A and B are shown apart, each in its own frame.
Chain A
Amino acid sequence: MGARRRKPAVKPLPQWRHVFVLAILGTLIGLLATRAFELQMLEHDRLQDQADKRHLRSAPMVAQRGDIRDRNGEPLAISTAMSAIAADPRHFQADAVQLQALASLLGSSASALRQRVQAAQGRHFVYLKRPLPPSVGKAVDALNIEGVFSKTEYRRFYPAGEVTAHLVGFTGRNHHGQEGLELALEEKLSGQPGSKKVMFDGHGQSIAVDLIEPPVDGDDVQLSIDLRLQYLAYRELKRAVRDHHAVGGSAVLLDARNGDVLALVNSPSFNPNSRDKGKAAQRRNRAITDVFEPGSTMKPFAILGALEAGIVGPHTPIDTSPGIFKVGGKRVTDHRDYGILDAAGVLRHSSNIGASKLALAQSASDYEAMLRGLGFGASTGSGFPGEVHGSLAPASAWSTFKRATLAYGYGLDVTALQLAQAYLVLAGDGRMQPVKLLVDADLVRPQRLFSASSVKQLRRMLAGVVEQGTGKMAALERFSVAGKTGTVHKAVRGGYSKDRYRALFAGMAPVDHPRLVLVVMVDEPRTGDYYGGLVAAPVFHAVMGEALRILNIAPDKAGDSALRLASHVGEGVGQ
């Protein structure tokens, strides 16, 4: 080996060739490095941006809107996932077969689809058809047409339709609450949309690649409403409004034990499932957003105040002759001269004079405190959008005549819901309990406004109104009923209308242990009968009687069935 090394076979390479090769390699590496530097450092942001624009995009993920249900879980508003088929006109490319398949899925024609895409040329997005069942969306995706894709959307349905329309309200564009509880509870119902990263290939087909933010579905909401009672109240109110050619009406049914709103209905109504939601007059939730003067339905409070202050007892005589009573230069009148009445008689005959005299015997500030305590002139806290407070002027602004008129329900404005809430105090033995629209609403400790004994006395008097007074048509065969009628002249510009009325009935049953409170208001009955006792009391009769039966509340008035029960027991079970 050593010998061979000493005589080399080839001549050594000249030095310059090494240098030359290294120089070329070095230059090439240098060029690469420069280009890499240029791309990575100088143009990185612009290029990245360009690439993302073509291939990566964040796309929204829809959150499911919560359901609205009644107290028994019956659905009142449900969202259901639907598909929307859309196209990106820039990438749209379909052969005749694909287009035909797409057209038949969408129930359209190939030429119509082509036209639609062409009309949107230059835009990124055009809807081809919506809403469609999700299965159609899947089928469209399976066609794999360039630039055509499906999108999930939600649509809201209201199974109870017009029966719960005012209360539940409806959603508008983009599935957001627009009216009613849909609007009031928007935050709870809507949830949080999420987002995902979507990659587009060169053909405009998208693939979702990464989750950026998961969507949070909205919460379900349970109302205190009982759909069975809601339907019942709606049916009867609608019938009364139709039969009396009335402008409208409202009814509010409350659970006397806890202030739960079991039914809240208005007529006329509308169909929230239809695109046409009717006129504003149909959409208004009258029971909460319309005020009226409560008329004679306020008289029980004038008497209750007097009972509490010790001004009258059950047998104190009140002189209402001669049917005209002058107060502060103005006149309070009764239908006729009722002579000497006791407190129960004032209610039974609905004597304006008797109620005025009892109210005037109380101090104005006490009277105001009582009315405010009952919730007049303030929100019920129901949280319903557009709820009005009604109006009640401060006592310092009351004239003597105004104090008299307040006793029989003029000079203050209330909503049907407020009136029902005030009657709830009578049903609750003098304890004030705010009304509740939601099952899980915060419990508020009831506040005592009146002594239980005065309120019980008053309820007996109100039972007399139904047994022998103006409210006979509200009476039930098997249940004792306490209530008060009201017939109010409607306020018009410059005074009160002579021939336009509101018919009212407010009451509760059974008398000794009330379970339900119901207020019925019919606005402008126009077929002759306009008295609360003739128009509103029959609605009360129908709704209250059926509601007590549905809720399985034991009758407190013995019919002959007490005897029949005895005989059934005697006969044995086998009969």
Chain B
Amino acid sequence: MTRVQLRTILILGLLLVSTAVAIVWAQFESRRAFQAWQQVQAERDVLSHEWQLLQLELATLSAPARIERLAAERLALRRPSAEEIVVIRGQR
């Protein structure tokens, strides 16, 4: 075995070991990233749940039927009669 051959084998061996380590490292990193992503997703789920509940609450509170009732009962509002509506036309 010549010196050159020996060196080649040694270098290849080192490369082999380092790629093996790199694969393990990459997989580890990928899992860690995935875990972090899952964590963020879970947070997003909680936040989006809250957002959806807020939307539902808003929709419930602003339901036409409720607004109508409150306007009439609490604020004593009513629809303007035809005579009370004044049309103001903008300039063309």
Could you list which residues of chain A lie within 8 angstroms of chain B, going by C-beta atoms? 64, 74-75, 78-82, 133-135, 138, 152, 157, 159-160, 196, 207-211, 227-228, 231-232, 235, 477-478, 546, 549, 554-555, 559-562, 564-565, 568
Judge whether B60 is part of the interface by a CB distance below 8 angstroms: yes
Q: Which residues of A contact B45 (CB under 8 A)?
A: 81, 134, 152
Do A568 and B34 touch across chains, with their CB atoms under 8 A apart? no
Taken together as a complex, chains A and B put the C-alpha atoms of A560 and B83 apart, in Å, by 7
A134 and B46 contact, Cβ closer than 8 Å, known pairs A80-B53, A477-B82, A555-B85: yes
* Interface residue from A152, A210, A232, A565 paired with B86 (Cβ < 8 Å): A565
A228 and B59 contact, Cβ closer than 8 Å, known pairs A208-B38, A568-B86: no
A160 and B34 contact, Cβ closer than 8 Å, known pairs A80-B52, A561-B87: no
Do B56 and A157 touch across chains, with their CB atoms under 8 A apart? yes
Taken together as a complex, chains A and B put the C-alpha atoms of A440 and B50 apart, in Å, by 29
Do A554 and B89 touch across chains, with their CB atoms under 8 A apart? yes
5 other A-B residue contacts (CB within 8 Å) besides A152-B45, A231-B65, A562-B87: A78-B56, A135-B46, A227-B64, A228-B64, A568-B86
* Interface residue from B48, B55, B59 paired with A81 (Cβ < 8 Å): B48
Judge whether B63 is part of the interface by a CB distance below 8 angstroms: yes
Taken together as a complex, chains A and B put the C-alpha atoms of A562 and B85 apart, in Å, by 10
Judge whether B18 is part of the interface by a CB distance below 8 angstroms: no
Q: How far is the CB of A559 from chain B (nearest CB, A)?
A: 5
Pairs A–B under 8 Å by Cβ, sample size 6: A75-B55, A78-B56, A138-B42, A231-B65, A555-B87, A559-B83
| Chain B interface bracket (under 10, 10 to 19, 20 to 34, 35 or more) | 20 to 34
* Interface residue from A159, A228, A232, A546 paired with B60 (Cβ < 8 Å): A159
Closest B residue to A556 using CB positions: B87
Q: How far is the CB of A391 from chain B (nearest CB, A)?
A: 37
Do B56 and A232 touch across chains, with their CB atoms under 8 A apart? no
Q: How far is the CB of A14 from chain B (nearest CB, A)?
A: 31
* Interface residue from B37, B59, B82 paired with A75 (Cβ < 8 Å): B59
Closest B residue to A79 using CB positions: B52
Q: Which residues of A contact B6 (CB under 8 A)?
A: none
Q: Which residues of A contact B52 (CB under 8 A)?
A: 78-81, 157
Judge whether B75 is part of the interface by a CB distance below 8 angstroms: no
